[in-house]
Amino acid sequence: MNRIDKKFRELKTWRRKAFIAFLTAGYPSLPLTEKLVLELERSGADIIELGVPFSDPVADGPVIQKSSFEALKKGVTLKKILRLVKKLRKKTEIPLAAMSYFNPILRYGTSLFIEEAVAAGLDGVIIPDLPPDEEKVFLSEANKNGLATIQFIAPTTSRLRASFIAGRARGFIYFVSLTGVTGVRRDLPIALKSQVIAVRKVCGRLPVCAGFGVSTRRHVRFVSSFSDGVIVGSAIVKKISEHLKKKDLVSRVGRFVRDLKGSL
Amino acid sequence: MIPDKHGHFGIYGGKYIPETLMAALEELEKTYLKASKDKAYLTELSIYLKEYAGRPTPLYFAKNLSRLIGQGRIYLKREDLLHTGAHKINNTLGQALLAVRMKKKRIVAETGAGQHGVATATVCALLGFDCHVYMGAIDMQRQALNVYRMKLLGAEVVPVTSGSQTLKDAMSEALRDWVTNVRTTNYILGSVAGPHPYPMMVRNFQLVIGKEAKRQILKAERRLPDYLVACVGGGSNAMGLFYPFFADKKVKFIGVEAAGHGLNTAEHSATLVRGDTGVLHGSKSKVLQDKDGQIKIAHSIAAGLDYPGVGPEHAYYQDIGRASYVAVTDQEAIDGFKMLSLAEGIIPAMESSHAIAYLKKMTGILKKNSVVIVCLSGRGDKDASAIKDLESR
């Protein structure tokens, strides 16, 4: 069984919600990303998303854009990130999903990517510019080989389309909590609750987690009250960027995540 | 039917776009398909094209230029004579009238040379839209005149300082704006690029160029041309000229890309000549990229060609051998710019100067009776000061 599915089953037994943490892989460096993953696991993260840096991240706001450019400057590639996953697999069984724009995967070779990602121990992929309407061969081949293709549903997605997407998604549904790009926000839309509840109805047993803009402990508590989990990205990456030079960067980020997660 | 109903041109095209935008693209496509069969819409558009934009544009027989090239009879399709100075207005009028039907009040657009930005700002002033144009900070410097024109027309020009600070990043930023304000905003995309339905829709708004040219050349020469030549950045003026001749297999299509400092350097924008299959800004096409799939920064002296992607239909034409794509350098384009100015008293845009420059390389293949149509996609006033600065350096 895929580690993501296993994790959600486990969480369900304990009636808990998933805390999913995003890190830009290679920011500030690949060795530090490795340490951060392990630290976030200790701090209570249930699933880790590893952001694959891309030159033109259209779905991302300034925080993740900047971290991606920094990582690219250091020569981080998809290949190196898969190597990091392999290394991490010797130390942890935490579910790992890669969040990548499609072009780096296409360039890698879609079949080769699936093969090497699965061999390395990656559990899922999240591709913000690849809706389930495109690249059906790649998506079904990934799923067949145990690489879960996590799909997005947005506040603008119709009910009909939501059930189409749910039928093609694996792992969980990434509900986009606001119309916009990733980033730290003060407030989340009030309509989020009713939107997620409606989406959960069409998703059956597939868990629905919400992300984009989730930035504070209050947000985490609010979102988890009606979803199967929360995804926090920019807030964590921002924390990293604020403490780049500090020796105790890793433990500071760990504390931040522990605090965000609270009693989740 | 090209594209198919999902917007695929062979393996290219499609909708590679965040889910948040899917509903807006569907709405746009539905509105467009309905409007394209609606007499009221078509009449309104054709009146604006005629009385506001200045269509039809002449097909001018360039006698002096033909003599200079030495072979063939060269005609210029004078899109430079349109209101706002380039072919871009054919498309922005069509899209803005769709926005009226969708009851969107706010418009976003990207621009490179500023021609699409000016054409968008113009129709927004005309039809009363709130207009926001994203433009790379570097492009704002090299096209300062167009920045001022957009502001005069009431648009907000938003400088983009990320990445290469040119068209690629302006487009990313415009998409981010659209994702954020999708409920109130319509995105007027300037080329035959981006996600479906844009490549198809923009082509259809631009094919008026080729339709007129076909009628005009049949009248002037009593036969179809041998060659169609147009510059290709995203590729909208070229596609507009080519498409109506698609079934006329004897008419050869030549798309001229920007070789910048040279195809053997890293500084060019020759996406079809040198690129590989990739996904950028919503569609699969040819892209300039490195071995890891990161998009390269393009270079061209012509801001409107300075883009590492290209419309998917061009990639398809290249694959099936319907069109050939070539490239000329910055220097060759400057020579073309001067050549046309001196020979015909027509100052071409730097973008269009690439198509003009390629004529010099056609002397070997042209015969005395060859008929060539070059799309003069825009006028060069906007470039004059930049070229002057370059000369005095």
Query: Partners of B134 in the beta sheet?
Result: B110, B158
Distance from the B342 Cα atom to the nearest Cα atom in chain A, whole angstroms: 41
Closest CB to B278 among A65, A107, A181: A107
Q: What is the pLDDT along chain B (393 residues), one digit of tens a residue?
A: 789 999 999 999 999 999 999 999 999 999 999 999 999 999 999 999 999 999 999 999 999 999 999 999 999 999 999 999 999 999 999 999 999 999 999 999 999 889 999 999 999 999 999 999 999 998 898 788 899 999 999 999 999 998 888 899 999 999 999 999 999 999 999 999 999 999 999 999 999 999 999 999 999 999 999 999 999 999 999 999 999 999 999 999 999 999 999 999 999 999 999 999 999 999 999 999 999 999 999 999 998 999 999 999 999 999 999 999 999 999 999 999 999 999 999 999 999 999 999 999 999 999 999 999 999 999 998 888 888 888 887
Q: How many CA atoms lie within 13 A of B386 on its CB side?
A: 22
Residue type at A75 in one-letter notation: G
Q: Is B377 a catalytic residue?
A: yes
Q: Specify the 3-state DSSP secondary structure of A24.
A: strand
pLDDT at B130: 98
Report d(CA B357, CA B230) in Å as an integer.
11
Nearest to A147 by CA among A114, A107, A106, A169: A114
Least confident span in A45-59, A150-164, B108-122, B377-391: B377-391
Cα–Cα distance list, B183 to A144, B103, B214 (Å): 37, 10, 40
DSSP string, B68-131: HH-SSEEEEEEGGGSGGGBTHHHHHHHHHHHHHHTT--EEEEEESSSHHHHHHHHHHHHHT-EE
Instruction: Tell me which of B66, B77, B79, B88 is the catalytic residue.
Output: B88
- The answer to whether A179 contacts B172, with C-beta atoms less than 8 Å apart, is no
Copy the structure tokens of residue B323: 């069109």
The neighbour count for residue B34, using CB atoms within 10 Å, is 12
* Confidence band for A118, pLDDT divided at 50, 70 and 90: very high
The neighbour count for residue A12, using CB atoms within 10 Å, is 14
**B167 and chain A: CB distance < 8 Å anywhere?**
no
Q: Is B88 a catalytic residue?
A: yes
Q: Report the predicted TM-score, pTM, of the whole model to 2 decimal places.
A: 0.97
> Which of A68, A70, A73, A107 should one mutate to test binding to chain B, selecting the residue with the greatest count of B CBs within 10 A?
A107
* Confidence band for A61, pLDDT divided at 50, 70 and 90: very high
DSSP string, B12-57: EE-----GGGHHHHHHHHHHHHHHTT-HHHHHHHHHIIIIII-PSP
**B168 and chain A: CB distance < 8 Å anywhere?**
yes
Strand order in the sheet with B371-376: B59-61, B73-78, B371-376, B227-231, B252-260, B323-329
Cα-Cα-Cα-Cα dihedral sign, residues B345, B348, B352, B355: positive
Q: What is the mean pLDDT of chain A?
A: 97
pLDDT at B164: 82
Closest CB to B292 among A104, A130, A165: A104
pLDDT (tens digit, 9 = 90+) per residue, A193-209?
Answer: 999 999 999 999 999 99
pLDDT at B143: 87
Name B307's Cβ contacts closer than 8 Å, sequence gap at least 6: B112, B166, B167, B168, B171, B233, B234, B269, B271, B298
Determine the longest span between alpha carbons in chain A, in angstroms.
50
Report d(CA B56, CA B81) in Å as an integer.
10
Q: Quick one: average pLDDT of A90-99?
A: 98
